[in-house]
């Protein structure tokens, strides 16, 4: 078997070189000489009979095969380590501080409960939470102020890597008291144009996206009663009966559990989704706590 020819240390060295994109930085973090790291990478390439890194203008660029090897090595080496700790009853004591960027409502409703659960097992891990949207999170990641972040759709810098983890289902809803005066919902342009709307942006972008998605209606004359870029504020206006708005499904369900009586518009049946991804700066080395938390959270959705 090919694996019989490979010392696990070769894969650990490869993993560090891939992450740092530098033989020098990898040697510093591994407490090895640069020539030693280089020789080990060369030896691994000889065993595998393929090239793992290209040297372009003094830059180390992983090949496509190297990326495949890295993703699988990272997952499986961590699995081996956790298994060894478990069977030897030497559970690793995780500690350190992790900086995470979060959209407010997604973070508060879905991420913070997971951090609480993890915190009970690893009390020495501390969190620095930064709330924000695409533009501010982009800057924080580039400056190194965040280890990683959860984000929705935004045109991020090319140095930032993205991996989709889940979708938010977006629901149009209103309070029962507000809808009484309009009668049963009718999927007609005239009915929709008679309602008041609440949106996150002055151009009612999210509301118009909902109508475009469900009914292919793009020329609606909407009465936008208020706009505010805050899910909690928008939901408060909806429950007070000020109009119709779009909220994440998990948020609507949380409101209903608290006794709020809401009417959900059915649309075409296929829900409108908002893609949520995890974002991180390519090449930024993660601490053990950050790496563990990254994998824990991204596999929890």
Q: Which residues of 117-146 are buried (b: 16+ CB within 10 A; e: fewer)?
A: ebeeebeebeeeebebebeebbebbeeeeb
Please tell me the distance from the alpha carbon of residue 129 to that of residue 131, in angstroms, as a whole number. 6
At residue 177, the 3 state secondary structure works out as helix
Q: In the predicted model, is pLDDT for residue 81 greater than 80?
A: no
Question: Each residue of 132-160: pLDDT tens digit?
Answer: 877 889 989 998 889 999 998 778 888 89
Query: What's domain 168-273's superfamily in CATH?
Result: Periplasmic binding protein-like II (3.40.190.10)
Q: In the predicted model, is pLDDT for residue 57 greater than 80?
A: no
Domain ranges of the chain: 2-87, 96-167+276-298, 168-273
How high is the mean pLDDT of the chain? 87
Task: For strands 148-151 and 272-281, give the pairing.
Answer: antiparallel
DSSP assignment string, 118-160: HHHH-TTEEEEEEE--HHHHHHHHHHT--SEEEE-S----TTE
| pLDDT score recorded for residue 292 | 86
Structural contact between residues 63 and 49, judged by C-beta atoms closer than 8 angstroms: no
96-167+276-298, CATH topology level:
D-Maltodextrin-Binding Protein; domain 2 (3.40.190)
Q: Do 168-273 and 96-167+276-298 fall under one CATH topology?
A: yes
Please tell me the distance from the alpha carbon of residue 297 to that of residue 293, in angstroms, as a whole number. 6
Structural contact between residues 136 and 184, judged by C-beta atoms closer than 8 angstroms: no
| pLDDT score recorded for residue 78 | 74
* Average pLDDT estimate for 199-218: 92
Please tell me the distance from the alpha carbon of residue 172 to that of residue 210, in angstroms, as a whole number. 8
Map tokens 């930064």 to a residue: 130
Q: Is the dihedral of CA 79, 84, 86, 90 positive or negative?
A: negative
| pLDDT class of 170 with cuts at 50, 70, 90 | very high
Specify the higher pLDDT residue, 96 or 46.
46
Specify the higher pLDDT residue, 282 or 113.
113
Q: In the predicted model, is pLDDT for residue 54 greater than 90?
A: no
For residue 237, give the nearest of 217, 255, 215, 212 by alpha carbon.
255
**Highest CATH level, class, for 2-87:** mainly alpha
pTM of structure: 0.61
Specify the higher pLDDT residue, 60 or 211.
211
Share of the chain above pLDDT 90, in %: 39
Which range has highest mean pLDDT (2-6, 28-32, 175-179)?
Answer: 175-179
Q: In the predicted model, is pLDDT for residue 93 greater than 70?
A: no
Structural contact between residues 234 and 198, judged by C-beta atoms closer than 8 angstroms: yes
């Amino acid at each position: 078997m090919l694996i019989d020819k490979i010392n696990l240390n070769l894969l650990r060295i490869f993993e560090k070189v891939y992450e740092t994109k530098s033989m020098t930085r990898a040697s510093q973090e591994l407490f090895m000489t640069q020539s030693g790291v280089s020789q080990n990478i060369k030896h691994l390439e000889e065993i595998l009979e393929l090239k793992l890194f290209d040297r372009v203008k003094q830059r180390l660029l992983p090949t496509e095969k190297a990326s495949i090897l890295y993703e699988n090595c990272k997952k499986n080496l961590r699995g081996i380590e956790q298994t060894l700790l478990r069977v030897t009853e030497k559970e690793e004591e995780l500690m350190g501080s992790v900086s995470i960027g979060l959209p407010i409502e997604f973070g508060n409703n879905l991420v913070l409960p997971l951090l609480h659960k993890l915190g009970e097992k690893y009390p020495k891990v501390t969190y620095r939470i930064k709330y924000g949207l695409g533009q501010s999170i982009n800057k924080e990641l580039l400056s190194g102020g965040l280890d990683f972040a959860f984000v929705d759709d935004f045109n991020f810098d090319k140095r930032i890597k993205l991996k989709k983890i889940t979708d938010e289902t977006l629901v149009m809803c209103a309070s029962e008291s507000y809808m009484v005066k309009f009668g049963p919902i009718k999927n007609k342009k005239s009915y929709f144009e008679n309602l008041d709307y609440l949106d996150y942006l002055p151009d009612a972008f999210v509301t118009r996206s909902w109508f475009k998605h469900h009914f292919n209606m793009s020329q609606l004359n909407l009465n936008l009663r208020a706009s505010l870029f805050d899910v909690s504020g928008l939901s408060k206006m909806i429950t007070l009966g000020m109009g119709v708005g779009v909220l994440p499904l998990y948020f609507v369900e949380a409101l209903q559990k608290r006794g709020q009586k809401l009417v959900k518009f059915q649309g075409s049946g296929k829900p409108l989704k908002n893609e949520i991804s995890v974002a991180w700066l390519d090449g930024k080395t993660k601490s053990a706590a950050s790496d563990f938390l990254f994998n824990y959270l991204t596999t929890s959705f």
